[in-house]
Chain A
């Protein structure tokens, strides 16, 4: 649905995005992750046609962003980092204006407006002036304007920035509910946002691609050891020695009353481990994979470098 190939954007001598390539499949939510000034907003601005790229190619829904900007703009809904609102307009008037701007046919504007208001939960404030509504509602109006023409692709630049925790959860739920029907790219520097809302992630730093892929793929590719945590009722000492004797197990250690068993990720020893725990009667209460989380991944990628 979205393809970016060797995209470079320079502002004078400053290179904001360098040789960036990634793909996003239809109906998925992808996070564009990176520290501040990594080039997230620039990438989004190029995709939406707000600014042209210096080099490279980007296509959205099969249309080239540079060759067919108006075709691309019709299929994209965009929420910029600073929500583009006219404070002196009412919520309904504003959304009506955006619908006209996005060329929603006159006959379909009313249902489009009602749908956007309903999906974004704006019914209670639709008649109020935008300047008089809360920050959370303003963000919702921003999302509603990006949805009004029912675009195939949604590009959301830091959609939860500046919101309180309850509002953040609401907006995340809203974004998740849009998945499937819309392909979504959202940028963020909040790691939890990616794990909670995204199917995949593109990590960039200083304008360069550091890693991209689905969350499982990425964490798996960066994992050097497979790690399983066991909770046993009894026999910890015996288990320490016994599990360590399983061929392929590299290390068994105690961790907060639990046992951590590590082996090379090319093998799958989970069955052998669980069988031994049951056969020896250690009282296996729980066994879980300690996946490498996004925090570990992000810190490694951003601070350590190395393209994947």
Chain B
């Protein structure tokens, strides 16, 4: 455990001593802030209009009208930004030869992978955690449902964790960070839009494609539905990504 933490600590330090983490977090917060502001402004203008009619006014739901679209927007930003966060994790080590230090230390390959994964999760948690401050406004002037919001955040975190595992995997494949980021983004986007293919499929394939689609599982979570099926999906996606990383690194050393 201490080996994992030692590696994670070093990676977190690297993220925060270089501009990477600050740029990723700042850009993420600016974009999320913009989407939040737009959604809230639209909600306000709707609320003013609906205030004329008590029936419609009761239909106004800040969770559905602000948070659900906000979470969807955040998930797209994560899809674009997380590959940039993970692209250097292994490719940089390989390019500069520092992998030789790691793999000749009394640390298992699995511990190295988990250490790096954990570091990226910490940055993801910081990104998401900081956006929580936006909710100060909605709680001060309205009454959104906290459990539903937390469920959305949990969905974002789990989905981000799956994205990061894919990023770690593609980073282990190549010495080139750009290639690593593009492959991660391409693969994730493909998984994202698998449910589009499900529209034209039928029978078992429809279910399989729907199950494999990243988006399908996330959609439920933004609506406040916590289904173990979705949690298991993201966790197994992450596990599979890390398992493949382990296989790639081991097979390369044995070649």
Contacts and interface: CB of A to CB of B under 8 A. Distances in A.
Interface of A: 11-12, 45, 48-52, 70-71, 73-74, 76, 78, 80, 82-86, 88-89, 93, 97-98, 100-103, 145
B82 to A, nearest CB: 21
Contact of A101 (B6, B96, B97, B254): B6
Interface of B: 2-3, 6-7, 10, 13-14, 17-18, 96-108, 253-255
A84 B97 contact: yes
Contacts of B253: 50-52
B101 to A, nearest CB: 4
Contacts of A48: 104
A15 B6 CA distance: 37
B184 to A, nearest CB: 23
A50 B98 contact: no
A12 B255 contact: yes
A167 B124 CA distance: 45
B98 A84 contact: yes
A145 B101 contact: yes
A304 B14 CA distance: 51
B101 A73 contact: no
Nearest to A80: B100
B102 A101 contact: yes
A73 B105 contact: yes
11 contacts: A11-B255, A51-B254, A52-B253, A70-B106, A70-B108, A97-B6, A97-B10, A101-B105, A101-B107, A102-B105, A102-B106
Contact of A80 (B7, B17, B97, B255): B97
Closest 7 CB pairs of A and B: A84-B101, A82-B97, A100-B6, A84-B98, A73-B106, A80-B100, A48-B104
Contact of B98 (A11, A78, A86): A86
Nearest to A71: B106
Given A50-B104, A78-B101, A80-B97, 12 more contacts: A11-B255, A45-B100, A50-B100, A52-B253, A71-B106, A78-B100, A80-B101, A86-B98, A93-B13, A97-B10, A100-B2, A101-B102
